[in-house]
Amino acid sequence: MKIAVVGAGIAGLAAAARLQNAGHEVDVFEHRNYAGGKLTEIMVGDYRFDAGPSIFTMPEYVDEIFKVCGKNPKDYFEYEFMDGICNYFWEDGTQLTSYADPERFAKEIEDKLKVDSQPVRKMMSKNQFKFETVGDLFIRKSLHKLGTYTSYNTVRAIARTPRLQLFQSMDQVNNKLLNHPKLVQMFNRFATYNGSNPYEASSILNLIGHLELGLGIALPKNGMHDISQSIYKLAKDLGVKFHFGRKVDEILLKNKQASGIRLGEDKFSYDKVVCNMDVYYAYNKLLPNEPQPIKVLNQTRSSSGIVFYWGIKKEFPELILHNALMTNDSEKEFDCIFNKKTITDDPTIYINITSKHCPEDAPKGCENWFAMINVPHIQGQDWDKIIEQARERIIQKSSRMLGTDIGSLIEAEEVFEPRIIQNRTFSYQGSLYGISSNSTTGAFFRHANFSRKIKDLYFCGGSVHPGGGIPMCLSSAKIVADIITA
Ligand SMILES: Cc1cc2nc3c(=O)[nH]c(=O)nc-3n(C[C@H](O)[C@H](O)[C@H](O)COP(=O)(O)OP(=O)(O)OC[C@H]3O[C@@H](n4cnc5c(N)ncnc54)[C@H](O)[C@@H]3O)c2cc1C
């Protein structure tokens, strides 16, 4: 069969490789001139930055693609697990490192916070339980196929529902169990990994903590960018044809069945179309005359982000690859992100420094800072003003907490913000992870990986089931390939 894939984001790449490997003839159309979508890199002066994602969990989902395609993953993609995961800093001078090794993490908590680590151990085992109960069901399967609901895993998940604490928020569960403001803050922060609000999102999302602290964070040998590049190379080796700089303008239909795509005046016939474009724009721009699933498309979007890529002409031994400079008021911060549509005066700053592990990413004696804060998705804000405020607040706060004037150390600079995210990858409202997971039932209302109304049309990527983030996007590609090749 001839299959067109619209978009070469991580999900589009993975779907293309899987489908070509299954014997189909796959063409990928990408409007930019590179593969990877949000998962790409940029150069600013002499500094290299991973432009989008920096936290990489479940690398086995990447390995799986190579294995399914009969290749040795190590021939394409290498990574190692990190030892210390994240350095957390608070204004009162407290500093601690999280580890995926439970014993080491427990000791660190006892040493640095002077509290019993038992509640944290209990929290981690509860998070593992949540992941093992619903992970396979919500991540690896379509929630829109009957077969999913008759599986053993579903029956087991239903039997375990009372222990899943579905109807309590992350913050409620974390507060009750951890009963320590800094620990609650650390565990609440996992909500931001899919752009959600811990004060609203179901505590089922605490399973994200298990991905980081239980299963560990992986570090690609050649940077995050290598995740998308290695799958791109695999797809090319398998025979997928890539068409860069080609924007798809319409998905063509014949009798409620996808029959091809249109780019400007050019029409191409295909047996099936897999769409990696944000599903909101896919309906609005590529299928404007078809009935729109309005309820699904109009759900609240996840948060966005402002990233400053800074070349810093100094080295900070107290910083590691992942660092978080914590806010004094999490509640206010999330209220601004999800309700007030602006930024707090004291944001949590996430600083990723890949030159800690890949020295060639920055000149000698310097560091490449990816300094990010979470911000609301686009809702008519004055972004120029917000970006100016963000820059000032990040510089002030990091200077104060690290005891050095950061502003004077910036020698190269680029900024990535919601409007750029929206324009560059066609992500509706600049959201990083599609729709937010703030509602308990949200997972069931994400768009399915296929269209119920249009035959031979499929969807993959962060805006559809199972959601945003690298592992989820890779899962969406697997689900699409499984459905097509079933
Ligand atoms: C700043 C930032 C930080 C992040 N941090 C993390 C993190 O730490 N960990 C994590 O797991 N995830 C993170 N994410 C989220 C992660 O990057 C995304 O969930 C994931 O990369 C989305 O992949 P996708 O397959 O949905 O496609 P996208 O990356 O959204 O790409 C879609 C592609 O389709 C192309 N396209 C769209 N429409 C058309 C069209 N009509 N014709 C042709 N081409 C088209 C676009 O040009 C683009 O290349 C982050 C994202 C950002 C921006």
Domain extent listing, the chain: 2-38+223-296+440-485
Whether the CB of 277 sits within 6 Å of ligand 1: yes
Structure tokens at 293: 């699933």
Whether the CB of 466 sits within 6 Å of ligand 1: no
For residue 38, the ligand 1 atom closest to its alpha carbon is 29
Q: Which of 74-83, 436-445, 458-467 has the lowest mean pLDDT?
A: 436-445
Choice from 5, 38, 85, 280 to test ligand 1 binding pocket (greatest atom count within 8 A of CB) = 38
Whether the CB of 421 sits within 6 Å of ligand 1: yes
pLDDT reported for residue 97: 98
Instruction: Look at residue 184 and tell me whether its pLDDT is greater than 90.
Output: yes
**10 CA to centre of ligand 1 in angstroms:** 7
Under 8 Å between Cβ of 131 and 186: no
Q: Which of 289-298, 319-328, 410-419 has the lowest mean pLDDT?
A: 289-298
Q: Would you call 46 helix, strand, or coil by DSSP?
A: coil
Under 8 Å between Cβ of 273 and 261: yes
408 DSSP assignment: G
**59 CA to centre of ligand 1 in angstroms:** 17
Tell me: the pLDDT tens digits for 252-287?
999 999 999 999 999 999 999 999 999 999 999 999
pLDDT reported for residue 146: 67
Using a CB cutoff of 8 Å and minimum separation of 24, what contacts does 104-113 make?
Answer: 105/213, 109/183, 113/180, 113/182, 113/183
pLDDT reported for residue 378: 97
Whether the CB of 461 sits within 6 Å of ligand 1: yes
Whether the CB of 473 sits within 6 Å of ligand 1: yes
For residue 11, the ligand 1 atom closest to its alpha carbon is 25
Structure tokens at 467: 């959601």
Whether the CB of 76 sits within 6 Å of ligand 1: no
For residue 372, the ligand 1 atom closest to its alpha carbon is 1
CATH superfamily of 2-38+223-296+440-485: FAD/NAD(P)-binding domain (3.50.50.60)
Instruction: Look at residue 134 and tell me whether its pLDDT is greater than 90.
Output: no
User: Confidence class of residue 211 from pLDDT cuts 50, 70 and 90?
Assistant: very high
The pLDDT > 70 percentage for the chain reads 98
What mean pLDDT, rounded, does the chain reach? Answer: 94
pLDDT reported for residue 443: 65
Under 8 Å between Cβ of 105 and 328: no
**37 CA to centre of ligand 1 in angstroms:** 5
